[in-house]
A and B are shown apart, each in its own frame.
Chain A
């Protein structure tokens, strides 16, 4: 039985495991890569973890869309709020990525490189 419980813990929380994996993977890419576009990819992955984190608890087994049907009151429905929030978060993520990429284009024009190591060492930061 012990083993079964642990299995249930691992499988039942699969969404959260994936969330944690995405958080760590995203942060790792941001920290470890010097290429500015790869960094932005990492940032996007990091933000994606949030979508899963929010949407997961919004799912109810057997739940339907939250529409009131007069014949069948008390129907089980999924809370639409997390999905709506994540729509907003996705828009925010897209905007951030777009701005980030635009900046990288400008950086490439100004410095001739998108490697962070080159960019930061090519100017005197004083």
Chain B
């Protein structure tokens, strides 16, 4: 049974999605989804533990040996992402029950859980598979269900946002598959490990370089790397609260995983990083993303949209570490994947609670909420400080490693830029704090209290994780360091 874990964590959500589509009764679907996500989480944790002790797991789908058959390959990087995705999926599911009841029509709630499971299955699949084309199929499974989830938002703007994301996301996925096609043509294999080996003598050929370019652009669209981020703000802002929390914490991270996989494992550090201008390009775009994203965030009235722009900036920090391509920079990048998931997950969940109680997410309507909803607003302050990089929170840990990574290259100016960028975060988080705590609620406004316990507790689990993982860094940094030694070791 345990040998089959790699298949179970992907296949069970897929089958359960079909079951949900037949059952369609919301409580039953929710229970099914909860059990399935729980099982996947436990499976992922077990696999990560096994990988840490005994090295990568290779699972032959259907018993066909790679490179002919599809191989599911779990090394420490994919194990880390699997745990992250499944944990967040479970937490958001617990959180989302009340929020979904408030925001989605009753007849659609069964479909919501169907799509949720499909999306989770796709994301897990991208991470677990060792086959480039299989990754494309899973990417489309997760993306198509994601477009549907976004379109479930109650505002009609959600439809336009979903359409926009569909166009951009499909262009991205098709670019990716064109790149994979070019590599397949010259290597004759789709297995990533096999492809890396056969590519080594062919790296200088135009086909390989064109393939790399297509894959890079395609994945950048999925990552929402500046300037390909245009779909992100609307998609995050108008999706149902629970979907936003799930999307922000997982979808872009999984695309970043695939980019790392291609840059470091397939093309190899020695070629992709040292002989092509990719690191410079990503570096410049990341820096622009950090500043443009934060600047745009300052001027948003819609708080979800503000946090979405902030996500563009935070993604910039993650890709910055990839571009630095030294050990501390990469550790910073990998740690920030988990950290950002915690911070943004917490923020979007708490904002979702506010949306449930006051029915809007406009900043001007949040006056005086510090007193009316103390636990929610206090959580937002803590998660906001964490994004700011206050010592003792997760944001500090990632920025610390990124700064050390920049210093190893001798780039003092970048450390200065990172600090200035933190001030921009203060500017927009400060706006929320100012409105919520230092303004009075308008006279005659209805009495308010914190959202229901299931939402509040799951949000606070994320908030506390922001603090805990900022103080005890042994888990995230420990795993990240192991990953980096594998990534940098493989290519050199």
Pick 9 A–B contacts, CB within 8 A, sort by A.
A36-B163, A43-B170, A46-B171, A103-B163, A111-B156, A111-B160, A126-B300, A126-B301, A126-B305
**Contact between chains at A126 and B159 (CB < 8 Å):** no
* 8 new A-B contacts at CB < 8 Å, known A30-B167, A50-B177, A104-B163: A46-B171, A50-B178, A50-B181, A53-B181, A92-B140, A111-B160, A125-B157, A126-B305
B178 CB contact (under 8 Å) in A49, A88, A100, A111: A49
Distance of A43 Cα from B156 Cα, bound (Å) = 23
**Contact between chains at A123 and B156 (CB < 8 Å):** yes
Count B-side interface residues using an 8 Å CB cutoff: 32
Closest 6 CB pairs of A and B: A110-B156, A92-B140, A53-B181, A126-B301, A103-B163, A57-B185
Distance of A125 Cα from B235 Cα, bound (Å) = 11
**Contact between chains at B140 and A54 (CB < 8 Å):** no
User: What residues of A have a CB within 8 angstroms of the CB of B133 in the complex?
Assistant: 85, 88
User: What residues of A have a CB within 8 angstroms of the CB of B60 in the complex?
Assistant: none
User: What residues of B have a CB within 8 angstroms of the CB of A95 in the complex?
Assistant: 140, 144
Residues of A within 8 A of B (CB): 23, 27, 30, 36, 39-40, 43, 46-47, 49-50, 53-54, 57, 79, 81-82, 85, 88-89, 92, 95-96, 99-100, 103-104, 106-107, 110-111, 119-120, 123, 125-126
User: What residues of A have a CB within 8 angstroms of the CB of B72 in the complex?
Assistant: none
B157 CB contact (under 8 Å) in A53, A81, A92, A123: A123
Query: Is B148's CB within 8 Å of the partner chain A?
Result: yes
Distance of A89 Cα from B302 Cα, bound (Å) = 38
User: What residues of B have a CB within 8 angstroms of the CB of A126 in the complex?
Assistant: 300-302, 305
User: What residues of B have a CB within 8 angstroms of the CB of A96 in the complex?
Assistant: 140, 144, 166, 170
Q: Which of A53, A57, A82, A125 has the most B CB atoms < 10 Å from its CB?
A: A125
> Nearest residue in B to A49 (C-beta to C-beta)?
B178
**Contact between chains at B177 and A99 (CB < 8 Å):** no
**Contact between chains at A54 and B181 (CB < 8 Å):** yes
Distance of A49 Cα from B148 Cα, bound (Å) = 26
**Contact between chains at A120 and B160 (CB < 8 Å):** yes
Q: Which of B147-186 contact A (CB under 8 A)?
A: 147-148, 151, 156-157, 159-160, 162-163, 166-167, 170-171, 174, 177-178, 181-182, 184-185
User: What residues of A have a CB within 8 angstroms of the CB of B300 in the complex?
Assistant: 126
Query: Is B234's CB within 8 Å of the partner chain A?
Result: yes
Query: Is B193's CB within 8 Å of the partner chain A?
Result: no
User: What residues of A have a CB within 8 angstroms of the CB of B151 in the complex?
Assistant: 103, 106
Query: Within the complex, what minimum Cβ distance (angstroms) separates A115 from chain B?
Result: 12
User: What residues of A have a CB within 8 angstroms of the CB of B181 in the complex?
Assistant: 50, 53-54
Binding site secondary structure of chain B: helix
**Contact between chains at B178 and A23 (CB < 8 Å):** yes
**Contact between chains at B171 and A43 (CB < 8 Å):** yes
Distance of A79 Cα from B94 Cα, bound (Å) = 47
**Contact between chains at A103 and B140 (CB < 8 Å):** no
**Contact between chains at A107 and B171 (CB < 8 Å):** no
Query: Is B418's CB within 8 Å of the partner chain A?
Result: no
Contacts between the two chains (Cβ within 8 Å), count: 79
Query: Within the complex, what minimum Cβ distance (angstroms) separates B62 from chain A?
Result: 14
**Contact between chains at A47 and B170 (CB < 8 Å):** yes
Query: Is B137's CB within 8 Å of the partner chain A?
Result: yes
Distance of A27 Cα from B156 Cα, bound (Å) = 27
**Contact between chains at A107 and B167 (CB < 8 Å):** no
In the complex with contacts A96-B170, A103-B166, A54-B147 CB distance below 8 A: no
Distance of A119 Cα from B174 Cα, bound (Å) = 26
Q: Which of B171-219 contact A (CB under 8 A)?
A: 171, 174, 177-178, 181-182, 184-185, 188, 190
> Nearest residue in A to B140 (C-beta to C-beta)?
A92
Distance of A29 Cα from B457 Cα, bound (Å) = 48
Distance of A49 Cα from B178 Cα, bound (Å) = 9
> Nearest residue in B to A107 (C-beta to C-beta)?
B159
Distance of A40 Cα from B136 Cα, bound (Å) = 20
Query: Within the complex, what minimum Cβ distance (angstroms) separates B207 from chain A?
Result: 11
User: What residues of B have a CB within 8 angstroms of the CB of A46 in the complex?
Assistant: 171, 174
User: What residues of B have a CB within 8 angstroms of the CB of A107 in the complex?
Assistant: 159-160, 163
Distance of A94 Cα from B227 Cα, bound (Å) = 28
Query: Within the complex, what minimum Cβ distance (angstroms) separates A42 from chain B?
Result: 9
Query: Within the complex, what minimum Cβ distance (angstroms) separates B312 from chain A?
Result: 16
User: What residues of B have a CB within 8 angstroms of the CB of A103 in the complex?
Assistant: 147, 151, 159, 162-163, 166
B184 CB contact (under 8 Å) in A54, A89, A106, A111: A54
> Nearest residue in A to B145 (C-beta to C-beta)?
A99
In the complex with contacts A92-B140, A96-B144, A30-B234 CB distance below 8 A: no
Distance of A95 Cα from B144 Cα, bound (Å) = 8
User: What residues of B have a CB within 8 angstroms of the CB of A54 in the complex?
Assistant: 181, 184
Q: Which of A30, A82, A106 has the most B CB atoms < 10 Å from its CB?
A: A106
A39 CB contact (under 8 Å) in B159, B167, B185: B167
Distance of A107 Cα from B182 Cα, bound (Å) = 37
